[in-house]
Every structure is written in structure tokens, then in C-alpha cells.
């Protein structure tokens, strides 16, 4: 898969995730134009604000996870990455987020791997739960661990395969774009990703990324 194909996949994923909040914005504006009752108009405005926040939070997250967010340097402020993840899951209150990342900076590639895998783990909590994200940097490696626990943890087998092996038969579905990106960046750095067994009640994802000499 080349860079153009990857860009197409990421755009498809972004459009898919933004369709719902942007559609809600459009519907809210149409309702507001026709509604005369003050209480209903106030409720419409609340829904518009929620949809606008959701759209902004998703864009902020995807800017770091998929794009060139974080400025022109080689590293990203980990507080910015935490804020992006909190914006993605925090407002729903379904998922409790734990952030145990040592240090104020991480390489851009490491942040992309971390955020994409955290998104996959968060999406696996179909009935809510807790998502813990940890990272530690030594002189030679970056070690990352992502843990998802809840009433039901479900990871699409396609995502599992893409994380572990990359593209299957040279093709990747848009929903697996983040998994493919995480796999590709890790493989390019000479690192590894390990997932807990599919039968386990808790999802664990461990990543080791060697640092360039």
C-alpha cells in the first residue's frame, strides 16, 4: 500500500466519524429555523452545541492521530495527546480514562501509534468501561501499554489481524486505517505490537519502539 492509498483510507475514516455530528448540526439548524417554542429552541441550541463540540473534538484527535498535528518539531507535547483522547471519550462519560505517560514529550510517530491503538481499545468498550494508557521512555526504547476493561470488550478480528500483520492481500478497509497506520509506523521503527488473547476479558496492547541512535 502506498501513501496515496493510506491517505484515502484515513480520509474515509475521518468522513465516516464526522458524518454523525455534522449531520446532527444540520438537523438542529433546520429544527431551529422552524421552532417557535422558547423551551424547544433552547433545547435545539443545546444539541447544536453538543454536536459542534463532538465535531471539534474528533478533528482535534484525528489531527494528531492521522495528520501532521503538534507543530513542525519531531516531538509532541504529551498533554496535547491526552487532551485529544479525553475529548474523544470524556464527554460521553461511558469510558473512564487513565493516563500514565511519563515525560512531557514523545516522538510524533510514537504518539500516532499510541493514539490509534488507544482509539481501537476505546472503541472495543462497546458498553463502556475503563481505558488506561501508559508510556515510558528509556535511553533506547519507548514502551507503551494500553488496557481496556469493561462489561464487554470486543475487537473486530479485522483490526486484530491488521495490527499484527498489516494489510491482508494488499487491501485494508477504511475502518482499519488506524490499525494499519499503527502497524506500519511500528514496523518502520523496528518495533513490535502484542495483543492479549481474543478470549481474554481484558484487552491489553503492548508496544515496544526502538529509539533512533
The domains of the chain are located at: 3-210
pLDDT band (50, 70, 90) for residue 8: confident
pTM for the predicted model, two decimal places: 0.86
Q: What is the arithmetic mean of pLDDT over 85-90? A: 87
CATH no. of 3-210: 3.30.565.10
Is a pLDDT exceeding 70 seen at residue 166? yes
* Average pLDDT of span 47-75: 83
For residue 140, count other CB atoms closer than 10 A to its CB: 8
Output 87 or 13, whichever has higher pLDDT.
Answer: 87
Average pLDDT over the chain, rounded to whole?
A: 87
Give yes or no for residue 14 having a pLDDT over 80.
no
Task: Report, in this order, helix, strand and coil percent for the chain, each rounded to 5.
Answer: 55, 20, 25
Between CA 67 and CA 212 the distance in angstroms is: 22
Tell me, letter by letter, the H, E, C secondary structure of 42-55.
HHHHHHHHHHHHHH
Question: What is the pLDDT confidence band of residue 213, given thresholds at 50, 70 and 90?
Answer: low
- The C-alpha atoms of residue 75 and residue 145 are separated, in whole angstroms, by 19
Better-scored residue on pLDDT, 6 or 1? 6
Tens of pLDDT along 88-143? 887 667 899 999 999 899 999 999 999 999 999 999 999 999 999 999 999 999 99
Mean pLDDT check: name the lowest of 29-38, 56-65, 142-151.
Answer: 29-38
Amino acid at each position: 500500500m502506498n501513501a496515496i492509498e493510506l491517505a484515502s483510507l484515513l480520509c474515509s475514516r475521518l468522513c465516516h466519524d464526522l458524518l454523525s455530528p455534522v449531520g446532527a448540526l444540520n438537523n438542529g439548524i433546520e429544527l431551529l429555523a422552524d421552532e417557535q417554542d422558547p423551551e424547544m429552541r433552547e433545547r435545539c441550541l443545546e444539541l447544536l452545541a453538543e454536536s459542534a463540540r463532538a465535531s471539534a473534538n474528533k478533528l482535534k484527535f484525528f489531527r494528531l492521530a492521522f495528520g501532521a498535528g503538534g507543530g513542525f518539531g519531531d516531538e509532541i507535547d504529551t498533554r496535547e495527546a491526552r487532551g485529544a483522547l479525553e475529548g474523544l471519550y470524556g464527554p460521553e462519560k461511558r469510558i473512564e480514562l487513565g493516563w500514565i505517560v511519563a515525560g512531557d514529550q514523545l516522538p510524533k510517530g510514537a504518539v500516532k501509534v499510541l493514539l490509534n491503538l488507544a482509539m481501537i481499545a476505546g472503541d472495543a468498550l462497546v458498553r463502556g468501561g475503563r481505558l488506561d494508557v501508559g508510556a515510558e521512555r528509556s535511553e533506547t526504547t519507548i514502551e507503551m501499554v494500553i488496557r481496556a476493561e469493561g462489561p464487554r470488550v470486543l475487537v473486530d478480528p479485522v483490526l486484530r489481524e491488521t495490527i499484527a500483520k498489516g494489510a491482508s492481500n494488499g487491501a485494508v478497509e477504511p475502518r482499519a486505517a488506524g490499525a494499519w497506520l499503527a502497524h506500519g509506523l511500528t514496523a518502520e521503527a523496528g518495533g513490535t505490537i502484542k495483543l492479549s488473547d481474543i478470549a481474554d476479558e481484558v484487552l491489553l496492547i503492548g508496544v515496544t519502539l526502538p529509539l533512533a541512535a
